[in-house]
Amino acid sequence: MDKIRAPAVFSQRKRQKGIHTPNLTCSYEIKFNEFVIFIIQRKMGRTRRIFLMELARRKGFRVESELSDSVTHIVAENNSYPEVMDWLRGQGVDDSSRFELLDISWFTACMEAGRPVDSEVKYRLMEIIEEGESSRAKEVLNDERYKSFKQFTSVFGVGVKTSEKWYRMGLRTLEEVKADKTLKLSKMQKAGFLYYEDLVSCVSKAEADAVSLIVRNTVSTFLPDALVTITGGFRRGKKTGHDIDFLITNPGPREDDELLHKVVGLWKKQGLLLYCDIIESTFLKEQIPSRKVDAMDNFQKCFAILKLCQPRVDNSSYNTSKNIDMAEVKDWKAIRVDLIIAPFEQYAYALLGWTGSRQFGRDLRRYATHEKKMILDNHALYDRKKRIFLKAGSEEEIFAHLGLDYVEPWERNA
Ligand code: DCT
Ligand code: MG
């Protein structure tokens, strides 16, 4: 039989023995535990769905008849991405990011190979959209609803729920949203519209370095020993990002719940703070990690928009001749910054989680759950068999606990 395989992005230190789990719903043996498939009946029909489910089960795949919490891969046939999203919302699913949304071609490739094949771009419903090549992609891109949702969700503070509401109200473009004075926008959405142009333009590495300097300087005025690490895409070596993520911890026993408040307080005084929302920590001692692959963590954090001043280019002769008042030239850019505070003993887990990528984190958590009977989140790793928390002082130690070779941050761009 096929061996259980770790997702391609990381490799097992030692080969695991194949796990033989009896399938409770039928007599077939499950060979691929980490993949839990659900096939959408819409546009496929009941008979074909039953046939495909039976086929996959016979080949050792775990296929669920219902859309349960354990489902990891959703397969659809002749459905566009927005149609699947619509269908999911109808099932009460708000957060579809916990699933891989795949076309039937992925399923067929798995059946042909007799094992799960990588869910490459060509099989993903969403990516199909980015490729923009096939006629299906064009159909999706032209979908009115998809176009509106893409515009709406490009605003900081606007998610699928708000987009849904606006779409139902008959709004289709951001101009229409802005013109509608009856809408009640949240503080976050107001900032999203106010700094829209800056926020949709990518943050460069140079801007990330400049903000990094500000963050380090401010944090060290209050906590000189604090460790400030740039995480997210920039730690993975990306050249641009939509925001800059910082992880802050204080080695030693001393913690300061007021640090974030002091930092943003100073920025406010200095005129550097355009927006901020501080979320207090909700972490409970000895909290068993969350099994949900996309659960929000419980750290104290701050979602902010900083005003990054940019040096003026000296083109005074041009300005004089055109009679432009320099005071009116915008010499700053609004930048989205996330600050996360982690207790020192959770720092390695927080660093692994906040370095991402999102897909890499999901794969790692699924691997821990299904292959190791452990639960991993941004706070801890819990061994369910031994009923103990596994301590880690570095990311290397976490990979070792999971029996995996270390993966460098720049290799985590799954
Ligand atoms: N993350 C997390 N919990 C959250 C939000 C994010 O664990 N509530 C992780 C996933 C990736 C990482 O933190 C950084 O998140 P983003 O900034 O959204 O992603 P990115 O990889 O930095 O990409 P971008 O360049 O778009 O900022
Ligand atoms: Mg980021």
Q: Is 233 in the pocket of ligand 1 (CB under 6 A)?
A: yes
Q: Is 289 in the pocket of ligand 1 (CB under 6 A)?
A: no
Q: Is 232 in the pocket of ligand 1 (CB under 6 A)?
A: yes
The one-letter amino acid at 391: K
Length of the chain: 414
Given a cut of 70, whether residue 323 has pLDDT beyond it is no
Which positions ≥6 away from 319 have C-beta within 8 Å?
326, 329
Give the span between the Cα atoms of 139 and 310, in whole angstroms: 42
Ligand 2 centroid to Cα of residue 333, in Å, is 17
Q: Which of 354, 359, 377, 379 to mutate to test the pocket of ligand 1 (most atoms within 8 A of CB)?
A: 354
Residues carrying CATH 3.30.210.10, the chain: 359-411
Select 2-138's CATH number: 3.40.50.10190, 3.40.640.10, 3.40.50.10860, 3.40.50.300. Answer: 3.40.50.10190
Ligand 1 centroid to Cα of residue 102, in Å, is 23
Superfamily for domain range 359-411: DNA polymerase, thumb domain (3.30.210.10)
Q: How many other C-beta atoms lie within 10 A of the C-beta of residue 412?
A: 21
Select 144-194's CATH number: 1.10.150.20, 1.10.540.10, 3.30.390.50, 1.10.580.10. Answer: 1.10.150.20
Instruction: Provide the 3-class DSSP secondary structure of residue 408.
Output: coil
Ligand 1 centroid to Cα of residue 245, in Å, is 7
Q: How many other C-beta atoms lie within 10 A of the C-beta of residue 225?
A: 10
The mean predicted confidence, pLDDT, of the chain is 86
Q: How confident is the model at residue 239 (pLDDT cuts 50, 70, 90)?
A: very high
Q: Is 243 in the pocket of ligand 1 (CB under 6 A)?
A: yes
Q: Provide the pLDDT for residue 133.
A: 56
Residues carrying CATH 3.40.50.10190, the chain: 2-138
Q: How many other C-beta atoms lie within 10 A of the C-beta of residue 304?
A: 25
Question: Which is catalytic among the residues 86, 256, 294, 338?
Answer: 338
243 in catalytic set:
yes
Q: Is 409 in the pocket of ligand 1 (CB under 6 A)?
A: no
Q: Which atom of ligand 1 is nearest to the CA of 361?
A: 10
Query: What are 370's two structure tokens?
Result: 């299904």
Q: Is 358 in the pocket of ligand 1 (CB under 6 A)?
A: yes
pLDDT in tens, 151-203: 999 999 998 889 989 988 999 999 999 999 999 999 999 999 999 999 999 99
Q: Whose CA is nearest to atom 25 of ligand 1?
A: 241
The CATH code for residues 203-314+322-352 is 3.30.460.10
pLDDT in tens, 61-86: 999 999 988 899 999 988 888 888 88
Q: Is 241 in the pocket of ligand 1 (CB under 6 A)?
A: yes
Q: How confident is the model at residue 6 (pLDDT cuts 50, 70, 90)?
A: very low
Residues carrying CATH 3.30.460.10, the chain: 203-314+322-352
Give the span between the Cα atoms of 277 and 303, in whole angstroms: 5
Given a cut of 90, whether residue 306 has pLDDT beyond it is yes
| Residues 246 and 216: beta-carbon distance below 8 Å | no
Residues carrying CATH 1.10.150.20, the chain: 144-194
Give the ranges where 114-171 is alpha helix by DSSP (H). Answer: 125-131, 135-142, 144-152, 160-168
Residue with tokens 């692994």: 352
Give percent above pLDDT 70 in the chain.
85
69 in catalytic set:
no
Q: Whose CA is nearest to atom 14 of ligand 1?
A: 232
Given a cut of 50, whether residue 23 has pLDDT beyond it is no
Is the full-model pTM beyond 0.95? no
